Structure 1
Amino acid sequence: MSTNTTPDKDRLYLFIASCISLCVTSMIFIIRGDVEGSLTTEYHLTKEQMGEIWGPAFLGFTIAIFFCGALIDKLGMKRMHVLSAVGFIAGTLMILFAPQPDMADGTTVSGIFSTTGTTMLYGGFLLMGLAQGTVEGVINPLIATMYKDRKAHMLNVLHAFWPLGLIIGGILALIMGALDLAWQIKIGIIIVPSLVYLFMALQKEYPQTERVAANISTGSMFKACLNPLFILLWFCMWLTAATELAPDQWFPSIMKELTGLQGTMFLVYTAGLMFVLRFFFGGVVHKHSPFLVLTICAVLVFVGLYWLGSLDAGSSAIVAFAAATVFGVGKTYFWPTMLGITAERFPKSGALGINLMGGAGMLSIYFMLPIMGKSLDTAGPGEALISVSYLAIALVVIFAVLFFGFKAKGGYKAEDIEGEGVKAS
């Protein structure tokens, strides 16, 4: 049986560094959505083309997180964490120096690779996506390794810093918008926290992953990822990400069009709900079956998205925020709980299992962004949200079946690295 030998002081230090790096990823997420209008106008893009330019951020995430799953045990978590910070800085600089196309007649560009500026935007967001994927490829197995007795709980606490980054980025974007600062300054602010966690990552040694420390073979790692339940959860991750993060990326512009209010406020508000619930009530997935939690979340996401899509200019701010509340609470536990179940039920899958799950989520968003963008162009924001809401119905059915299936067998059990059940709920 392997034991965690990371001193408590170093463990807290690495946890904080992980939280800051996760904040960077979500700051980018909300700032990217906030500057969408400026980028679309100044680079002469359609919404669909903007979705295609955003897409590499999520494709890059997927590529990086898949490679992390295979390479992290060889290269080490420290090197990969440092590399992610370098990627954020380089990607930001590429976007900042992307020249605007000269379209005197006001038409849109013929394609995203038809001008140097739009090509550089694509490349910059791709680099940022690679960096984001590397962050998650490192910090998720790091937390699962350091907190082996409460993986799902601590992964929910860690991922409370995703909405915290949304809050920080959103407030900064609102302040800079009120000051009428250029979009370049909003994007450029990302460099500051990237440098902070780069410095922190260079100061400490990182532990080996749980799988390596326990001498679990690579063959056993791949075998764990072929388990039928793992494959089903991997499929579900496509749907949870599509119903959570794809609408989030369009949220600022969608909510402004639907309600006439500042759309970024809604994303900051739902992020606040998520932070409180994950940070202070992340243990709910430890006290109850995570599949019960996911079932309830899927119901709330369906209701919330459908309700949001039904809003119009005549809807009051109270109704709009009520609908956003239902959606915000519903999406709270999707991502970290899916990762937590993977770490608890398939510990032998190691970093590869967690990263395959995260990669599925981001690959889903890569495909969903232009689909939602096209729907926004043709059908409008309401129909775009309602269409996505239907995906949550499938999640309700699957998670409910899994909950009752485990309950019939004595309850949900987490597995330790030796294959023994260690808790039931």
Structure 2
Amino acid sequence: MSENPINPQRLLWAGFTAILATGVGFAVRGGILDNWGAEFGFSATQLGVISGAGLTGFCFGIFAGGLVVDKLGYGKLIVVSFVLHALSAIVTLTAAPEMGMATAYKYLFWGTFIFALANGALEAVANPLVARLFPENRTHYLNILHASWPLGLVLGGALGWLLDDRMGVSWKLQLVMFLLPTVIYGAMFLGQKFPKSEAAESGLGLGEMFKDVGLLGGVVVAAMLALFFSATFPSIPTWLLFVGGIVIVGVIGKITSFAVGSVVLFVLFGTHILVGAVELGTDGWIQNITGNILSSEQGKVLFVITSLTMFLLRFCAGWIEKNLRLSPVSLLCVCAIFAFIGLNLTSGITSFGGAVVALLIYGVGKTFFWPTMLAICGDRFPRTGAIAMSIMGGLGMMSGGLIGLPGLGYAKDRFASEALVERAPQVYAESQAQEKSGWLFFEPVAAIDGRALAEAKAAEEPTNDQIALIESDLAGDRKTLKADSVIPVTLAVIYLGFVLYYRSCGGYRRLVLAKEVASRR
């Protein structure tokens, strides 16, 4: 008998606390975007790119972690994550106005990116670990694990409200707050024994574990990595990105004997890219947007209410699945419809009460997206071990960083600028940012200067020109939410397709990778 047996409950709650640290850090960063805009003069697009680095770096952490977690061991990855979390705080806190906008931008970007690397390595441990510890009820326990994310948002949002709006504490002190749960999760994981994934225990090699991912999955990974490098390092020539993508797909082809991969998993990867864009992108901007429409303090309160609802509901996933007889794909279809309705209602809010109703509907919608997608991956593709689940999580986070956050930031800039041009073209000419902000293949736009907008909002008796700035910014926020709602309605169509597909196959069910079957492969 082992002197140090596996303790599933402690490992579950240690993983819970680790993701809690991620949520606290994410929420605090979302709440101080206006501080960074006012202090450094960043545009909404620039703020979106910095905030997006808090997600894109995650992809590299979880991709690398997913590849080595079964060989290297969970404990060593946790130590790496702990060190990276501490380093991210040091780099971010170094940023100061006197060093200039360009230099401060780099410190904030890379500090946020390192923070995301730590988060990715942690999820490379937590997701497959919980899926392995509770194989009979993955949807329920993965939702419990990821209930820590909205709880982290609640705590981070509440801290921002107290320290920023009430006490006027500097953004640097607010950012340090995520280090407390970091220390706690390190202590909880210390000395624990970890199980192996089902695939690793069955003796499958890396090539066999990658076969369901195959060439199709490799194309998705290569495309997202190319998007990251082109956005982060614009000087890299396109041909080099293309060659890099071919190499990635070629390596996967080599180790899998050029297996095409599962079409279903390929579609799931693409679907999770949309999930990351709408869930994480909206989470990163919703405090700012509702704070503009109502007030900064009310925006933070609404964020806390929505996140708390999400936290509580994630403990109910097992009950919903059992008593409402909803398969994971059916649950996701219903959620997508709620998210679409909620975002559209939020775009038209005029009062705090109306905002609560709208955001609660949206909160119910987004609650089960992320963990239930991971549960489907674990249920349907057990031979991939931690790999497919890590790739899925990485793609979602990278999408949030590359598509969701900067995309919504670009939308805010574009819609607000268009509104100001229509309302007061002379004011726009005098208050536009010096450099245009672009995103993906969309036309660059000269955004409203962050400092000019901050001065207008801070004025006790704003001038007519300042009122035009404020109201144009507000119009941009409302249009941004409407544009954002296109994603969940697209998800609803995709999930409905999955519902019909599994019904045609005899119904959704969990697949089990038997040791004796694996040994003959």
Could you say whether these structures have the same fold, taking a TM-score greater than 0.5 normalized by the shorter chain as the test?
yes
Question: Does the 8 Å contact 2:343/2:362 carry over to 1?
Answer: yes
**Correspondences of 1:36-185 after superposition (within 5 Å):** 36-101=33-98, 109=101, 114-115=102-103, 117-177=104-164, 178-185=166-173
Distance 2:380 2:194 in 1: 24
Give the deviation of 1:409 after TM superposition.
Answer: 2.6
Farther off after superposition, 391-400 or 230-239: 391-400
User: What SS does the corresponding residue of 1:414 show, helix, strand or coil?
Assistant: coil
1:278 to 314, 332, 337: 314
Question: Does the 8 Å contact 1:222/1:349 carry over to 2?
Answer: yes
Question: Does the 8 Å contact 2:4/2:193 carry over to 1?
Answer: no
1:399 to 475, 495, 506: 495
Q: Quick one: which amino acid aligns to residue 400 of structure 1?
A: L
Give the deviation of 1:238 after TM superposition.
Answer: 0.9
Matched, 1:302 2:340: yes
Matched, 1:206 2:194: yes
Give the deviation of 1:328 after TM superposition.
Answer: 0.2
- The match for 2:386 is 351
Q: Quick one: which amino acid aligns to residue 415 of structure 1?
A: L
- The match for 1:382 is 478
Give the deviation of 1:394 after TM superposition.
Answer: 1.6
Question: Does the 8 Å contact 2:163/2:174 carry over to 1?
Answer: yes
Q: Quick one: which amino acid aligns to residue 381 of structure 2?
A: F
Farther off after superposition, 180-189 or 322-331: 180-189
Question: Does the 8 Å contact 2:18/2:122 carry over to 1?
Answer: yes
Give the deviation of 1:90 after TM superposition.
Answer: 1.0
Query: For residues 7-49 of structure 1, what are the alpha-carbon distances to aligned partners after superposition, in whole Å with 9 as ceiling and x for unaligned?
Result: 46x2211111111101000001110011111112212211111
Give the deviation of 1:101 after TM superposition.
Answer: 3.5
Matched, 1:259 2:294: yes
> Does the C-alpha gap of structure 1 residues 100 and 299 become closer, same or farther in structure 2, counting only changes over 3 Å?
same
Q: Quick one: which amino acid aligns to residue 159 of structure 1?
A: H
**Correspondences of 1:215-364 after superposition (within 5 Å):** 215-225=203-213, 226-260=261-295, 262-285=298-321, 287-311=325-349, 315-364=350-399
Which sections of structure 1, spanning at least 5 residues, go unmatched?
Answer: 104-108, 421-425
> Does the C-alpha gap of structure 1 residues 102 and 84 become closer, same or farther in structure 2, counting only changes over 3 Å?
closer
User: What SS does the corresponding residue of 2:194 show, helix, strand or coil?
Assistant: coil
Distance 2:109 2:268 in 1: 31
Distance 1:352 1:64 in 2: 12
Q: Quick one: which amino acid aligns to residue 284 of structure 2?
A: Q
Taking every aligned residue pair, what percent have the same amino acid on both sides? 32
Query: For residues 214-253 of structure 1, what are the alpha-carbon distances to aligned partners after superposition, in whole Å with 9 as ceiling and x for unaligned?
Result: 2123222111222111000111001112121101101111
Farther off after superposition, 253-262 or 392-401: 253-262
- The match for 2:29 is 32
Farther off after superposition, 60-69 or 272-281: 272-281
Question: Does the 8 Å contact 1:259/1:320 carry over to 2?
Answer: no
Farther off after superposition, 170-179 or 19-28: 170-179
Distance 2:179 2:372 in 1: 30
**Correspondences of 1:16-27 after superposition (within 5 Å):** 16-27=13-24
Query: For residues 68-119 of structure 1, what are the alpha-carbon distances to aligned partners after superposition, in whole Å with 9 as ceiling and x for unaligned?
Result: 111112211111112112111110121112222466xxxxx4xxxx32x221
> Does the C-alpha gap of structure 1 residues 307 and 6 become closer, same or farther in structure 2, counting only changes over 3 Å?
farther
Distance 2:407 2:151 in 1: 28
Q: Quick one: which amino acid aligns to residue 495 of structure 2?
A: F
Distance 2:94 2:393 in 1: 30
Matched, 1:417 2:513: yes
TM-score (norm 1): 0.91
Question: Does the 8 Å contact 2:26/2:54 carry over to 1?
Answer: no
> Does the C-alpha gap of structure 1 residues 266 and 403 become closer, same or farther in structure 2, counting only changes over 3 Å?
same
Q: Quick one: which amino acid aligns to residue 33 of structure 1?
A: G
Q: Quick one: which amino acid aligns to residue 293 of structure 1?
A: L
User: What SS does the corresponding residue of 1:415 show, helix, strand or coil?
Assistant: coil
- The match for 1:423 is none
Name the Cα RMSD after superposition.
Answer: 1.8
Question: Does the 8 Å contact 2:55/2:116 carry over to 1?
Answer: yes
User: What SS does the corresponding residue of 1:232 show, helix, strand or coil?
Assistant: helix
Distance 1:419 1:364 in 2: 35
Runs of 4+ in 1 over 4 A off after TM superposition: 5-8
Which sections of structure 2, spanning at least 5 residues, go unmatched?
Answer: 214-260, 416-475, 517-521
Distance 1:318 1:356 in 2: 40
> Does the C-alpha gap of structure 1 residues 173 and 244 become closer, same or farther in structure 2, counting only changes over 3 Å?
same
Question: Does the 8 Å contact 1:59/1:126 carry over to 2?
Answer: yes
User: What SS does the corresponding residue of 1:98 show, helix, strand or coil?
Assistant: coil
- The match for 1:106 is none
Question: Does the 8 Å contact 1:285/1:337 carry over to 2?
Answer: no
Distance 1:45 1:284 in 2: 44
Distance 1:198 1:249 in 2: 26
> Does the C-alpha gap of structure 1 residues 59 and 281 become closer, same or farther in structure 2, counting only changes over 3 Å?
closer
User: What SS does the corresponding residue of 2:193 show, helix, strand or coil?
Assistant: coil
TM-score (norm 2): 0.74
User: What SS does the corresponding residue of 1:149 show, helix, strand or coil?
Assistant: helix
Farther off after superposition, 319-328 or 374-383: 374-383
Distance 2:267 2:381 in 1: 13
Q: Quick one: which amino acid aligns to residue 174 of structure 2?
A: K
Q: Quick one: which amino acid aligns to residue 183 of structure 1?
A: W
User: What SS does the corresponding residue of 1:238 show, helix, strand or coil?
Assistant: helix
User: What SS does the corresponding residue of 1:208 show, helix, strand or coil?
Assistant: coil
Give the deviation of 1:137 after TM superposition.
Answer: 1.0
Query: For residues 267-322 of structure 1, what are the alpha-carbon distances to aligned partners after superposition, in whole Å with 9 as ceiling and x for unaligned?
Result: 111111111110134442465211110000010111111111223xxx22221111
